[in-house]
Amino acid sequence: MSAGQAAGEEADAAAASPALPRVLSALFYGTCSFLIVLVNKALLSAYSFPSPMFLGIGQMAATILILYVSKLNKIVHFPDFDKSIPVKLFPLPLIYVGNHLSGLSSTSKLSLPMFTVLRKFTIPLTLLLEIIILGKRYPLNIIVSVFAIILGAFIAAGSDLSFNLEGYIFVLLNDIFTAANGVYTKQKIDPKELGKYGVLFYNACFMVIPTVIISFSTGDFQQATHFQHWTNFFFVFQFILSCLLGFLLMYSTVLCSHYNSALTTTVVGAIKNISIAYIGMLIGGDYIFSMLNFVGLNICMAGGLRYSFLTLRGNSKPAQPGDEENALPVSKS
C-alpha cells in the first residue's frame, strides 16, 4: 500500500468518525488555545516576563510530569523508550520546540489583534503540506474559504499602524512550525506506533534538555530566575496555569487532529484567534483602530465560518480520484 493510499484511508476514517467527538475535540482545542494566548499575553506583556524560553521549559516539564505520573498509574498507555523511538518521531521534536519558542516570542512583540491576524498564514501552509506529505486533495469551495481568510489577513496586516519587523518574522516562523507540526503529528499518532500520548511525552523529553541549554547560553534562564515578580501570587498562579495549559493545548491539538484533519485543526485555531482579536479591541489596550484592519478581520471571520459550515456538512474530506475535476490541481512548478 502506498503512503498516499494510507493517508487517504486515514482521512476517510477520520471523516467517518461520529460528529460529536469531532465537534467536541475541536471545541476543546479552541478553548485551550484561546486561554493560553490570553495567559501568555498577560505574563509576557502585562508582567513583562523576559524569558519566553523559560516559560516553554515549564510547559514541557508539565507535559512530561503529567504523562509520566499518568502512565505509572495506568491512566494512559504509551510504549517504553527504545532506540527506534527517535527515528519514529523525527522531525517532530525539532518542529515542536521551534513552534513553542517562536510562538512565545511573537506573542510578546506584537499587539494581540495583529498577532492573531498574522497567524492565519498557518492555514495555506497546512493545506500545502497536507497535499505534499499526506497526499490529500480538497474541493474548490474549501480552497476558496481558506483563501478568504488569507485575503482578510492581508488587508488587516497591511494597515497595521504598530509595525514590528522582529515580531512579524517570529510570527511567520511560528506559522511554518505550526503547519508542519499539525501535518506531521497527524502522520505520527498511529496507535500501532507511539500513539497520542507517546508522541506528546517523547517530544517533550527530547527537547526539554536542549531548550534548557539554549536558555542558559542566551541568558534567558538567568533573567527568569532574577525576575522580580516571583513573590507575586497572581504572577506565579498565571505561570503555573500557563504550564498546565501548555500541556492541554498540545493534547487537544493531537486529539483534534486525530478526529478531524490537520487543516480543520488549523482553521479552528484561526477562528479562535479572530475572536481574540475582537476582544483585544475592547480590553487589550494595544489595538490601534483602522477601518482596513477592521474590515480585514471581518473577512477572516467570514471565511472561517464558511469553512466550518462546509466541514460540518462533510465537504472537507479529501477528494477521491473520481472527483478530481472539482479539486484544485496541484502545481508541478
Residue 276 near residue 112 (C-beta atoms within 8 A): yes
Write the DSSP string, 240-261: HHHHHHHHHHHHHHHHHHHHS-
Q: What is the CA radius of gyration of the chain?
A: 20
Mean pLDDT of all residues in 171-190: 83
* pLDDT digits 0-9 by tens, 21-64: 888 888 898 889 888 888 988 888 888 898 888 998 999 999 99
* Residue that has been written with the C-alpha cell 517530544 in this structure: 203
Dist CA 212 CA 195 (whole Å): 26
Mean pLDDT of all residues in 293-321: 70
184, pLDDT greater than 90: no
Q: How confident is the model at residue 230 (pLDDT cuts 50, 70, 90)?
A: very high
Mean pLDDT of all residues in 204-227: 89
- pLDDT value, residue 84: 85
pTM for the predicted model, two decimal places: 0.69
Write the DSSP string, 21-84: HHHHHHHHHHHHHHHHHHHHHIIIIIS----HHHHHHHHHHHHHHHHHHHHHTTSS--PPP-TT
Q: How confident is the model at residue 329 (pLDDT cuts 50, 70, 90)?
A: very low
The CA-atom distances, in angstroms, between 121 and each of 164, 229, 258 are: 17, 35, 22
Dist CA 82 CA 291 (whole Å): 56
